[in-house]
Amino acid sequence: MKKLLITGGHKLHGVIVPDGSKNSALACIAAACLATDNNIVVLKNIPDISDINIMCQIVRMLGKKVIFDNNTIIINGFFTNCTIPSTMTTKLRASLYFWGVLIASTGEINCGLPGGDKIGNRPIDIHISALQKMGVHFDIADNAIRANVTNRLEGQNIYLKYPSVGATCNIMLAASKARGKTVIINAAREPEIIDLSNFLTKMGIQITGAGTERIVLYGNSHIHGNVVHEIIPDRIETGVLAIASAITYGNVIIRKSIPYHNYALLYLLSEIGIEIAIAGDNIHIQNTRKLKAFNASMMPFPGIATDLQPIITVMATQANGTSSIIDYVFPERFQYISELQLMGAEIERHYNTLRLHGKSQLKENTVTGNDIRAVTALMCAGLVAEGTTELYGLHHLYRGYSDLEQKLNNIGANIVTE
């Protein structure tokens, strides 16, 4: 089993560029399959990570042709089946995006239930109820889903009880070929929704309101390929790089980012003593002072993303005083705290709230990350820990990041893969 050896105490210094957005790329790969002609769809700035490779395998399994090379994906061809085995769906929660795509394109699906990170309750009822309203009939048994629509999907007014990013994407994908107008009320407002909307617009779908709580979409039974789209930068990786720079008392420029996507985080960093300078698509992070304790809440966009919660917890261990972190999105996303405690962190948990007493001098230990964001946070904990930290769970890291350890090494970290 591979592990990382992370020697702490090194300041980060230099220039770094985040990959394209994992979450946006997964939705756009599914959207590319909506094309009804045989023209190619080209997606650029795709991160070379295992989740993307699994998504490409599913597309091929469904009959489409896929080429993935040099951070570019080319897709064309037609569906030849509508079955995705559970051996594939359990590896990737984004496999559920094919519900909307396949039902809209073939009229049916037959697939296993989606997998993904074990970060608490992640219900699929919002997806099911929305698609049912559009005319889909579901049969769920033995950890499998079979669904079909008698005729063409019907556009509807759909209210989401929670602004789920996944459900918003799925409805947009299904509605792209539905008859008439679909209105999504209480839609997710995340940047990945806007990116998906921009891509679907290039393919001929009329959409308004992406990025607001009300999205209006007019379906089209003929969606064209012959489209080139570049995926937005990954705001979560950008946030990780910003925090890693801050906690190591670094001086780092993050290039080719979209600063607006991380305004809530950057505001928090400035409040606790980090110098932030924004110029175009560059974010300059510099820390020369002790970090102040803080209170932070993880919320849907434009709040701080729940995916950054574990690494914000690491940052709190390095702040002087008592900090409080609340996660309103995934209140069970705290399995990693026992690993941080092994390293010397003082953490108390009360349901969806953490209280941290700092500053803690983290010390070397052997720790394991059990999801993408947890293993990333533990890697960054190793950057400030005394001694050399052994980190396991790298298969999770490689699901979400391409060579993150090498990127950090390029700006002064000391991380060795064994």
Assigned token pair, 329 = 């999105």
Q: What is the structure's pLDDT at 119?
A: 44
Q: Which of 196, 257, 259, 255 is nearest to 227 (CA)?
A: 196
List the 415-417 sheet strands across, edge first. 366-368, 388-392, 4-7, 415-417
User: Which residue, among 311, 195, 171, has the nearest Cα to 245 in the 3D structure?
Assistant: 311
Q: What share of the chain is helix, strand, coil (3-state, %, to 5)?
A: 35, 30, 35
Q: How far is CA 291 from CA 84, 240, 275, 340, in A?
A: 48, 17, 11, 19
**At a CB cut-off of 8 Å and minimum separation 6, what does 339 contact?**
367, 368, 369, 374, 378
Sequence-separated (6 or more) residues with CB below 8 Å from residue 85: 61, 111, 112
Rg (CA), the chain: 21
Question: Which tokens in the block code for residue 12?
Answer: 């980060």
In order of 53, 58, 61, 191, 267, the CA distances from 231 in angstroms are: 16, 20, 24, 11, 25
127: Cα separation from own chain's centroid? 18
CA 138, CA 115: separation in Å to the nearest integer? 19
Count each helix (H run) and each strand (E run) in the chain, helices first: 14, 25
Contact of 236 with 206, CB cutoff 8 Å:
no
HSE-up (13 A, CA, CB side) for residue 134: 36
As to burial, measured by CB atoms within 10 angstroms (0-12 exposed, 13-18 middle, 19+ buried), residue 359 is middle
Amino acid letter, residue 235 = R
Tokens of 33: 């399959």
Per-residue pLDDT, 113 = 84
Which residues of the chain are modeled with pLDDT < 50? 119-120
Q: What is the pLDDT of residue 143?
A: 82
Whole-angstrom distance, CA of residue 35 vs CA of residue 26: 16
pLDDT of residue 112: 87
- Write down the pLDDT at residue 122: 57
Residue 36 in 3-state DSSP? Answer: coil
First to last CA, the chain: 9
Beta bridge partners of 363: 386
Cis peptide upstream of residue 64 (ω within 30 degrees of 0): no
Euclidean distance between CA atoms 346 and 227, whole angstroms? 51
CA atoms within a 13 Å half-sphere pointing along the CA-CB vector of 144? 11
**Bridging pattern class, strands 41-44 and 227-230:** parallel
Residue for token digits 């979560």? 236
Q: How far apart are CA 8 and CA 5, in angstroms?
A: 10
Structure tokens at 300: 């849907």
Strands (E), 190-337: 206-208, 214-218, 227-230, 251-254, 275-279, 282-286, 291-292, 295-298, 319-327
Buried b (16+ CB within 10 A) or exposed e, 40-79: bbbbebbbbbbbbebbbebbeebebebebeebebebbbee
Q: What are phi and psi of 148, to 5 degrees?
A: -155, 165
